[in-house]
């Protein structure tokens, strides 16, 4: 190439925009969503395979403090936080996992320690309480696969090197068949129900953050059962229409007119797998809706209480199980008490906020 041509080309090249090496922009933090089929351990027992695990790492808020006449804002971290761990379990859910879930909704709370091996690291959680159990939407003739979504709130978590003794199972959990299900409600013809909306049972976990500790014990709070939405063809809604007339319009809505029932989820082979028993069910609304290209009658029901267990494995209806105190908190080294040894709790003094007044002792009156 001649010198004259280079003098023309080089300045022109310098003016052209340079494409970035990574068109997606700056590196983004790696999400904590871990696909695959890790194995869940609960209190040292294999509790089956799970999928779509979201195991957040510990985090903290950033506290900004303005001091004096400085133009710079002083920053430090606040209390450490451990977010809820979530995952999906299938129709082959293990008995330890099912017992943990079912115990929560009858107020027989159990704190669990456990671990999951993800990407070569062992994610451990301690003194966890179940906070959410979600059930998939069910629809006759549908083809979607369904799973139970589970969330639990750990007191604290740790990430360590995976143990060679702990190996994940190769197969993912087996899904539920969302097109094959059973709904029964006392005194009503329910064989023509074609759809049940997804619903979620929620249990709050409260934390007392007073004191100098950085890891705080979580206590079970309010337990909330959802309303249900069932769908039938308008011509198959006679029993529900009569109940609505008596219960809502005429006002015969005391406890003696509430009903009991159950929903049975089935596996991919259409065999009964999990049963949700329903207690103190009342109707509070109906509406004509379009679902796809079908006109259906939506039946809105409230439910005061639910129980969960293997299909056919629940004992008969009765008074709710008396609330129990959560299971014994696991013991840390040197902490005394029963239970297994756990990693030592992190304890540290909080940074005092600058300029905080010191009132000293309050005089006795």
DSSP β-ladder status, 259-267 and 228-232: unpaired
Residue 53: closest CA among 101, 125, 109, 110: 125
Q: How many CB atoms lie within 10 A of CB 252?
A: 12
Per-position pLDDT tens, the chain of length 365: 555 554 554 455 455 444 444 444 444 444 444 444 688 989 988 888 898 999 999 898 899 998 878 888 989 998 888 999 999 999 999 999 999 999 999 999 899 999 988 877 889 999 999 999 999 999 998 777 899 999 999 999 999 887 666 666 557 888 999 999 999 999 999 999 999 999 999 998 887 665 555 666 788 888 999 999 999 999 999 999 999 999 999 999 999 999 999 999 999 988 999 999 999 999 999 999 998 888 999 999 999 999 999 986 654 333 334 444 454 444 443 333 333 444 444 444 333 433 433 434 434 44
The CA–CA distances, whole Å, from 115 to 51, 90, 163, 180, 305 equal: 14, 18, 11, 33, 31
- Calpha distance 165→152 (Å, rounded): 25
- Write down the pLDDT at residue 335: 37
- Write down the pLDDT at residue 346: 43
Residue 184: closest CA among 102, 279, 107: 279
Sign of torsion over alpha carbons 285, 147, 306, 116: negative
- Calpha distance 41→47 (Å, rounded): 5
- Write down the pLDDT at residue 209: 61
pTM for the whole structure: 0.75
Predicted confidence (pLDDT) per residue in 202-243, tens digit: 998 887 665 555 666 788 888 999 999 999 999 999 999 999
Predicted confidence (pLDDT) per residue in 120-142, tens digit: 788 999 999 999 999 999 999 87
The phi and psi torsions of 138 (rounded to 5 degrees) equal -115, 135
Q: How many CB atoms lie within 10 A of CB 215?
A: 22
- Write down the pLDDT at residue 4: 56
Three-class DSSP category at 9: helix
- How many Å separate Cα 21 from the centre of its chain? 39
| 244-248 contact pairs (CB < 8 A, 24+) | 244/283, 244/285, 244/286, 244/299, 247/282, 247/283, 248/283, 248/284, 248/285
- How many Å separate Cα 364 from the centre of its chain? 49
- Write down the pLDDT at residue 168: 60
- Write down the pLDDT at residue 178: 93
- Write down the pLDDT at residue 3: 55
- Write down the pLDDT at residue 217: 74
């Amino acid at each position: 190439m001649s010198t004259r041509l280079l003098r023309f080309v080089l300045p022109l090249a310098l003016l052209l925009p340079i494409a970035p090496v990574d068109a997606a922009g700056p590196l983004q933090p790696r999400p904590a969503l871990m696909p695959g089929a890790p194995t869940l351990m609960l209190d040292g027992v294999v509790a089956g395979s799970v999928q779509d695990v979201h195991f957040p790492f510990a985090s903290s808020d950033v506290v900004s403090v303005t001091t004096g006449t400085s133009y710079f804002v002083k920053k430090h971290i606040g209390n450490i936080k451990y977010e809820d761990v979530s995952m999906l379990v299938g129709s082959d859910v293990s008995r330890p996992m099912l017992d943990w879930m079912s115990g929560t909704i009858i107020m027989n709370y159990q704190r669990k320690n456990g671990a999951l091996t993800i990407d070569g690291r062992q994610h451990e959680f301690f003194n966890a309480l179940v906070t959410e159990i979600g059930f998939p939407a069910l629809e006759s003739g549908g083809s979607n696969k369904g799973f139970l979504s589970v969330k639990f709130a750990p007191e604290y978590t740790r990430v360590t090197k995976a143990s060679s003794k702990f190996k994940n199972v190769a197969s993912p959990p087996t899904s539920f068949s969302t097109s094959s299900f059973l709904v029964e409600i006392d005194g009503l013809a329910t064989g023509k129900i074609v759809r049940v909306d997804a619903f979620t049972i929620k249990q709050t976990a409260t934390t007392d953050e007073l004191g100098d500790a950085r890891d705080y014990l979580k206590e079970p709070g309010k337990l909330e059962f959802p309303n249900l939405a069932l769908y039938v063809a308008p011509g198959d809604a006679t029993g529900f229409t009569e109940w609505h007339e008596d219960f809502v319009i005429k006002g015969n809505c005391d406890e003696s007119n509430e009903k009991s029932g159950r929903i049975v989820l089935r596996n991919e082979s259409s065999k009964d797998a999990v049963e949700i028993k329903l207690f103190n069910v009342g109707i509070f609304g109906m509406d004509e809706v379009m679902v796809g290209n079908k006109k259906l009658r939506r039946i809105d029901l409230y439910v005061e209480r639910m129980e969960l267990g293997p299909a056919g494995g629940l004992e008969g209806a009765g008074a709710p199980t008396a609330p129990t105190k959560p299971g014994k908190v696991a013991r840390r080294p040197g902490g005394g008490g029963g239970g297994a040894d756990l990693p030592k709790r992190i304890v540290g003094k909080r940074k005092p906020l600058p300029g905080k007044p010191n009132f000293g002792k309050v005089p006795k009156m």
